[in-house]
C-alpha cells in the first residue's frame, strides 16, 4: 500500500513541504510512494499550482476542503491517512480568532488524526508561551498542550522565521524597500532571528513521515525548535535585504512606543504591504531563536537532519540571492 500524507494547510510552508515529499519519493517503488493530499478551507489554488509543477501528478490526490473548527470535515479529510501534517495558524491579533484556530483548531486536528490512527506532525512557533500577553504566542503554546494531550506521540516543530521563494518575510521587506526612503526597525533593531530554510523544514517532515523506528524513537512526543545555521539581528536582516536586492537605504530605528502607535492605526486598515499589528511589535521585543538550553522533551533540529539524513542546515546566503534579486 502506498503512503497517504495529508497536509492540513495550503500556504507557503505547506506547499513547499508537499514539493519536498513528492520529489523525495522519486524512484521509489509504487507500493512505497507517498500520495499527498492538500486539505484546507480553500485548497484548490495550491493544489493546481503543485499539479502544474510536478512530473508525477497522479501522486497528488484530489484536494479536500476541511475546516479546523469543524471536526466532521477533518474526519472526512483524514480518512485512511498515514501521516497528518498540521499547519494550523493565523496572524490575527484578535484573541478569539487565535484561540479558535491555534488552540481549539489544533486540538481538533490532533483528535481527528488520533482517531484516524495517523502520525501527527504539528507546527507551532518559537516563542510559544502560554503566559504571554500576545495572543499569537499564547495560543500557540495552548495548542501544543492540547495536541500532546490528544495525541501523545505527535511531534511538534517550532520554526523560527521560515524563508524561501514565496516567503512573507524577506519578500515583504524587499518589496517595502522599493517604496520606502528608509528601512524601519524598532527598539534599536537588536532582536535576534534564526531564519530556517523551508526546504530544510520539508526534509525534516519527510524524515518524520517515514515508517522508521529509529526516527520515531527520537521524535515521538517531542518538540523540535527549528532554526537555521545563522543568527541575525533585526538590523542585520534589513541589511541582508538591501544587499540582495541591490538597493541603498538608510536604516532608521524607531522606539517600540512609536511602533505601537503606528500599529494601532495600521491594524485597523485592510491588510496590505505595510500592515503592522501591536502584537507584532510586542513580539519584536523577544528574540526568535532556538533555546540554547533546551528542555528534556526537546530535540535538536540540526541533529535530526544530520543523524538521519546527513543533511546540513541551509544558509540564507545560498538561497536569498535566488529570489530577492527579483523584487
In a domain, 114, yes or no: yes
**Is the model's pLDDT at 25 over the cut of 80?**
no
Reported pTM: 0.93
How many domains does one find in the chain?
A: 1
The DSSP result for 110-121, as a single string, is: HHHHHHTT-EEE
The rounded mean pLDDT for the chain is: 91
Cα separation of 298 and 81, whole Å? 26
In a domain, 273, yes or no: no
At 56, is the pLDDT very low, low, confident or very high (cuts 50, 70, 90)? low
Cα separation of 219 and 225, whole Å? 12
Q: How far is CA 52 from CA 59, 164, 186, 198, 233, in A?
A: 13, 20, 41, 20, 38
Cα separation of 163 and 320, whole Å? 8
Can you give the pLDDT at residue 141?
96
In a domain, 150, yes or no: yes
Q: Give CA 251 to chain center in angstroms.
A: 28
**Contact of 82 with 113, CB cutoff 8 Å:** no
- Rounded to an integer, the average pLDDT of 5-20 is 90
Strand partners, 84: 6, 120
Can you give the pLDDT at residue 294?
77
**Is the model's pLDDT at 26 over the cut of 50?**
no
298 contact partners, CB below 8 Å, separation of at least 6:
222, 223, 224, 225, 291
- Rounded to an integer, the average pLDDT of 72-94 is 90
Can you give the pLDDT at residue 32?
59
In a domain, 95, yes or no: yes
C-alpha cell of 239? 541589511
Q: Residue 135's domain is classified under what CATH number?
A: 3.40.50.720
In a domain, 16, yes or no: yes
Backbone angles phi, psi at 28, to 5 degrees: -75, 155
Q: How far is CA 6 from CA 90, 116, 194, in A?
A: 19, 11, 28
268 contact partners, CB below 8 Å, separation of at least 6:
none
Task: Determine the structural domain holding residue 139 and report its residue range.
Answer: 4-159
311 three-class SS? coil
285 contact partners, CB below 8 Å, separation of at least 6:
187, 191, 256
54-63 in b/e form (b: 16+ CB < 10 A) is beeeebbeeb
- Rounded to an integer, the average pLDDT of 190-218 is 95
140 contact partners, CB below 8 Å, separation of at least 6:
89, 102, 124, 125, 127, 128
Q: Give CA 152 to chain center in angstroms.
A: 21
253 three-class SS? strand
Can you give the pLDDT at residue 28?
42
In a domain, 309, yes or no: no
Can you give the pLDDT at residue 34?
83
207 contact partners, CB below 8 Å, separation of at least 6:
215, 304, 305, 308, 309
In a domain, 169, yes or no: no
In a domain, 322, yes or no: no
Cα separation of 270 and 266, whole Å? 8
Amino acid at each position: 500500500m502506498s503512503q497517504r500524507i495529508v497536509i492540513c494547510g495550503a500556504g507557503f510552508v505547506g506547499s513547499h513541504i508537499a514539493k519536498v515529499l513528492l520529489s523525495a519519493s522519486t524512484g521509489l517503488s509504487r507500493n512505497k510512494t507517498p500520495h499527498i493530499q492538500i486539505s484546507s478551507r480553500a485548497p484548490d489554488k495550491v493544489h493546481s499550482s503543485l499539479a502544474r509543477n510536478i512530473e508525477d501528478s497522479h501522486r497528488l490526490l484530489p484536494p479536500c476542503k476541511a475546516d479546523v473548527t469543524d471536526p466532521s470535515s477533518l474526519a472526512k479529510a483524514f480518512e485512511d491517512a498515514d501521516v497528518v501534517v498540521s499547519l494550523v495558524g493565523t496572524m490575527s491579533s484578535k484573541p478569539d480568532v487565535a484561540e479558535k484556530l491555534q488552540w481549539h483548531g489544533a486540538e481538533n486536528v490532533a483528535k481527528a488524526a488520533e482517531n484516524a490512527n495517523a502520525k501527527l506532525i504539528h507546527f507551532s512557533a518559537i516563542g510559544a508561551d502560554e503566559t504571554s500577553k500576545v495572543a499569537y504566542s499564547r495560543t500557540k503554546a495552548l495548542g501544543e498542550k492540547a495536541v500532546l494531550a490528544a495525541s501523545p506521540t505527535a511531534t511538534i516543530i517550532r520554526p523560527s522565521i521560515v524563508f524561501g521563494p514565496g516567503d512573507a518575510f524577506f519578500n515583504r521587506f524587499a518589496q517595502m524597500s522599493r517604496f520606502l526612503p528608509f528601512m524601519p526597525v524598532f527598539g534599536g533593531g537588536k532582536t535576534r532571528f534564526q531564519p530556517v530554510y523551508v526546504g530544510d523544514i520539508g526534509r525534516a517532515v519527510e524524515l518524520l513521515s517515514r515508517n522508521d523506528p529509529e526516527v520515531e524513537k527520537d521524535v515521538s512526543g517531542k518538540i523540535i525548535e527549528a532554526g537555521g545555521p545563522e543568527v541575525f539581528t533585526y538590523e542585520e536582516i534589513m541589511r541582508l535585504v538591501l544587499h540582495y536586492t541591490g538597493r541603498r537605504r538608510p536604516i532608521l530605528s524607531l522606539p517600540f512606543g512609536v511602533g505601537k502607535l503606528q500599529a494601532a492605526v495600521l491594524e485597523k486598515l485592510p491588510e496590505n504591504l505595510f500592515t503592522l499589528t501591536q502584537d507584532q511589535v510586542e513580539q519584536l521585543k523577544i528574540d526568535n531563536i532556538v533555546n540554547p538550553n533546551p528542555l528534556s522533551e526537546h530535540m535538536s533540529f540540526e541533529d535530526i537532519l544530520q543523524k538521519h539524513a546527513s543533511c546540513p542546515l541551509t544558509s540564507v546566503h545560498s538561497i536569498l540571492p535566488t529570489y530577492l534579486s527579483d523584487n
